[in-house]
């Protein structure tokens, strides 16, 4: 019997399988419908890519195949043997480096696969720092608005791995954003989120950049703008020691309300800049400013403005009137001015003046007996105090000079009668002579008094014996501080009784 019914079973099974296969839709004439890809998004925390779709509307779907689309070619990534599958997490972090495109296909057994779904690509965000302009630029590719339209993009920022917050929201046609200020030596990370219709969204990779910049000086102190003995303007600056910039631009402005012009580019590796301006006109007020130059050749920090002191002398007869401009620009205050005078043996301080003083007057007769040179010269020195960085500057003005008044006056009468009035005789000089010779004689030529000391005076006696009332002759020869030789003769009358 076994041999009789066994072929029948095989035939029945063949008929069943044949009938069943013929009941399946044909893959060519009736392929399965593709799924609808609804979103592709990068997970911010993990960097994985999440792919979502609406399942195929065709019956008998057995699996979904996820593809990476590269240059139009589908590269299969995984097959999900679940007819209800509508989500896939791709653990590859390729979206960290570029935008990636994906499609999904539905498959019916035995191996009937739908065409690809619509294409969706991840948003690739790239952030870059512009240290020259202190900006961070963020750019991203457009997210496909099908099947859900993009309402706008949110640019999210995180500082030093803190939580992301919205820095800017832009229109769907904008794909870049510029942050115009940031904290240096920090990590800034950016994510772009495409906000979609219906309240869903797609996020990009996170792109991070370090705001490491060449640290500019926080301050530059103009220590001084002082006139040297060689009539040059010497400049000194102290720079924030934490600065990583060592290149500087020095600018000068010689006329108020004009513009600064660069006169030199200087470097400093020790926190100071010293410069001698050989081309400045010391007969005008010059203004100076030093600026730090970054590696983009842009000024980033500038000093306070310093100016030289211009001293003027106006002489009217016996009056010497000195005036000068206030020292400008110290970060501290002008504690005062000191007036120095050189009458021939070097500069010595004459007087200390308060910070508000810019005028000083004196009579020439206050100086004339101190004059030993061919000029009387003056300069003013300003001193700084209360500088916030402890750098107290000093600045000297230009030097101004006047020619000494070289006057010789010889009295014609004196009365040596011990009444303490006009008891002594000597020529009156408005200067201290380099050489001096005075001879007094009687009418017969006998020498009564002789001296080479201009301070020496004759009391009208010879060897302690008072001379009688009468007329004496004198001869005087002096050499002035300017080198001029003066010779004079005349008479002086001795009056012993009044």
Q: Is residue 83 part of a domain?
A: yes
pLDDT, position 498: 55
Choose the final residue of a domain: 99, 121, 143: 121
Residues 68 and 146 in one domain: no
pLDDT, position 355: 79
Q: Which residues of the chain have pLDDT under 70?
A: 1-24, 498
Q: What is the CATH number of the domain that holds 490?
A: 2.60.40
Residues 117 and 129 in one domain: no
**Count: domains in the chain:** 5
pLDDT, position 1: 35
- 368-382 in b/e form (b: 16+ CB < 10 A) is bebbebbbbbbbbbb
- 250-273 in b/e form (b: 16+ CB < 10 A) is bbbbeeeeeebeebeebebeeeeb
Residues 114 and 133 in one domain: no
Q: What is the residue range of 324's domain?
A: 311-404
Q: What is the CATH number of the domain that holds 328?
A: 2.60.40.10
Q: Is residue 325 part of a domain?
A: yes
pLDDT, position 108: 95
Choose the final residue of a domain: 374, 404, 434: 404
Residues 396 and 369 in one domain: yes
Q: Is residue 4 part of a domain?
A: no
Residues 116 and 197 in one domain: no
pLDDT, position 366: 86
Q: Is residue 442 part of a domain?
A: yes
Q: Is residue 25 part of a domain?
A: no
Choose the final residue of a domain: 404, 433, 453: 404
Digit-coded pLDDT (tens) for 398-427? 999 998 888 888 999 999 988 888 999 999
Q: Is residue 481 part of a domain?
A: yes
Digit-coded pLDDT (tens) for 224-239? 999 999 999 999 999 9
Residues 387 and 412 in one domain: no
Q: Is residue 394 part of a domain?
A: yes
Q: Is residue 11 part of a domain?
A: no
pLDDT, position 96: 93
């Amino acid at each position: 019997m076994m041999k009789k019914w066994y072929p029948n079973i095989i035939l029945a099974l063949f008929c069943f399988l044949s009938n069943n296969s013929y009941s399946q839709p044909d893959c060519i004439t009736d392929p399965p419908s593709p799924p609808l890809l609804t979103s592709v998004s990068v997970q911010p925390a993990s960097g994985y890519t999440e792919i979502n779709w609406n399942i195929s509307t065709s019956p008998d779907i057995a699996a979904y195949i996820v593809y990476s689309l590269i240059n139009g070619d589908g590269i299969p990534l995984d097959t999900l043997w679940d007819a209800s599958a509508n989500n896939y997490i791709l653990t590859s972090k390729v979206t960290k480096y570029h935008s990636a495109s994906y499609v999904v296909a539905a498959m019916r057994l035995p191996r009937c696969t739908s065409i690809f779904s619509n294409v969706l690509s991840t948003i690739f965000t790239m952030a870059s720092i512009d240290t020259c302009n202190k900006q961070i630029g963020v750019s991203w590719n457009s997210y496909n608005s099908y099947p859900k339209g993009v309402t706008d993009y949110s640019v999210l920022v995180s500082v030093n791995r803190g939580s992301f917050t919205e820095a800017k929201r832009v229109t769907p046609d904008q794909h870049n954003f510029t942050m115009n200020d940031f904290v240096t030596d920090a990590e800034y990370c950016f994510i772009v989120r495409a906000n979609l219709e219906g309240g869903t969204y797609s996020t990009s990779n996170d792109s991070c950049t370090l705001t490491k910049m060449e640290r500019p000086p926080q301050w530059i102190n103009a220590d001084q703008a002082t006139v040297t003995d060689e009539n040059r303007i010497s400049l000194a600056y102290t720079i924030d020691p934490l600065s990583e910039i060592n290149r500087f631009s020095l600018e000068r402005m010689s006329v108020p309300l004009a513009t600064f012009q660069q006169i030199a580019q200087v470097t400093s590796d020790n926190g100071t800049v010293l410069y001698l301006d050989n081309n400045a006109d010391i007969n005008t007020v010059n203004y100076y400013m030093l600026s730090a130059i970054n590696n983009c050749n842009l000024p980033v920090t500038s000093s306070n403005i310093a100016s030289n002191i211009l001293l003027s002398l106006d002489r009217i007869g016996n009056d010497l009137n000195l005036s000068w401009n206030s020292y400008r620009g110290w970060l501290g205050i002008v504690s005062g001015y000191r007036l120095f005078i050189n009458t021939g043996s070097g500069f010595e301080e004459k007087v200390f003046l308060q910070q508000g003083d810019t005028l000083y007057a004196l009579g020439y007769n206050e100086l004339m007996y101190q004059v030993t040179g061919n000029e009387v010269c003056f300069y003013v020195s300003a001193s700084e105090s209360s500088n916030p960085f402890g750098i107290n500057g000093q600045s000297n003005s230009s030097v101004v000079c006047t020619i000494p008044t070289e006057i010789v006056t010889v009295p014609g009468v004196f009365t040596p009668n011990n009444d303490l009035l006009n008891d002594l005789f000597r020529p009156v000089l408005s200067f201290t002579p380099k050489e001096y010779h005075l001879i007094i004689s009687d009418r017969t030529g006998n020498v009564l008094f002789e001296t080479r000391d201009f301070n020496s005076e004759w009391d009208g006696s010879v060897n302690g014996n008072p001379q009688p009332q009468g007329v004496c002759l004198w001869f005087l020869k002096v050499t002035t501080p300017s080198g001029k030789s003066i010779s004079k003769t005349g008479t002086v009358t001795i009056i012993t009784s009044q």
